[in-house]
Amino acid sequence: MGCPDWPKCFGSWVPPTEVSQLPPNYAEIYGAKLKGEVVFNSTKTWIEYLNRLFGVFTGLLIFGTLLASIPFLRSDKPVFYYSLAAFLLVGFQGWLGSKVVSTELSPVMVTIHMVLALVIVFLLLYVMARSYKGHLEVEQVSRKSFLNNWLIVTFILSMAQIVLGTQVREAMDVVMKELGDEQRGEWIENLGLTFYVHRSFSILILGLHIGLVYWLKKNSHKGILNQLTLALLSLIVVEIVTGIVLAYFAVPAFAQPIHLTLATIGVGLQFVIWLFLNSKRVFKNQFELVTTTI
């Protein structure tokens, strides 16, 4: 709630950097929307406003992607239509961001906002992969159906873990308000059942990724799929380590964005691996595949 209004911030296109730049009665004007945090905090304000600026910049880049996809209407229409879908969704995402503010961080709205961001990432990854022209070396894989099912289950449960994470973050807001920064070391133990489910679920997620690496290595030669899967497993291990840091070191601020970013990259990598695993079926004649046989 660093910026209590939208799209402006404290009624201005350039947010204030100090309290003297605000009206004397700003606490009365914005008090209800600030969720009780009436003491101005320039750091929170500029973090929120930069988030909005990056959102606008992302929208412009996606619009550029849409323009670049127009020639594909003659050669590969899905590239254009998926680019269009990403552009429309990023506009909807901006509107949704305003609702996150107006509903004062409603848990449901925050979760939808996060999931929609991931959907846009998947659309862009698909467009990038489909529009690629050239040779792509993909090793042939036996038991592909089994691996596909394993990967899909891993992806679905990873998305569920991210949704749980957004709920933990919302519970954290409540605990922070109740206990204050002085009792930071007690935040975690007051989060309730959602946190413990989220924490325990990470063991299952790790096991699924270890299994994915094992089965893929067993059913294919070394190649791009093995490299991506090993990178994914390494990322998941680091992700769990950041979770441990958050849980046992009083929720240090630096670890929170790292934890969320790694989760986003993780599901993005899962989607890319799925595209590679199913490249012939998904892209048909888009790639001239150079395959290595077992």
- Residues 149 and 91 occupy one common structural domain: no
CA angle 136, 58, 61 (to 5 degrees): 60
Alpha carbons 226 and 245: distance in angstroms, whole number: 29
Alpha carbons 224 and 230: distance in angstroms, whole number: 10
What is this structure's pTM? 0.80
CATH of the domain at 235: 1.20.120
What's the pLDDT tens digit per position in 194-244? 899 999 999 999 999 999 999 888 887 777 888 889 999 999 999 999 999
Q: Is the pLDDT of residue 290 over 60?
A: no
Q: Is the pLDDT of residue 262 over 60?
A: yes
**Total domains present in the chain:** 2
Long-range residue pairs from 67-71, CB within 8 A, at least 24 positions apart, any chain: 69/127, 69/131
Q: Which of 131, 160, 175 is the last residue of a domain?
A: 131
| Model pLDDT, residue 286 | 53
Q: Is the pLDDT of residue 289 over 60?
A: no
- Residues 79 and 163 occupy one common structural domain: no
Report the pLDDT averaged over residues 254-276: 91
Q: Is the pLDDT of residue 47 over 50?
A: yes
Q: Residue 135 — pLDDT band, cuts 50, 70, 90?
A: low
- Residues 119 and 225 occupy one common structural domain: no
| Model pLDDT, residue 31 | 65
Task: Identify how many contiguous H helices and E strands the chain contains and give both numbers.
Answer: 10, 2
| Model pLDDT, residue 170 | 81
- Residues 85 and 184 occupy one common structural domain: no
| Model pLDDT, residue 151 | 93
- Residues 144 and 241 occupy one common structural domain: yes
Distances (CA, A) of 228 to 176, 216, 279: 38, 11, 15
> Which domain covers residue 122, as residue numbers?
1-131
- Residues 81 and 177 occupy one common structural domain: no
Helices 42-69 and 107-131 pack at an angle, to 10 degrees, of 30
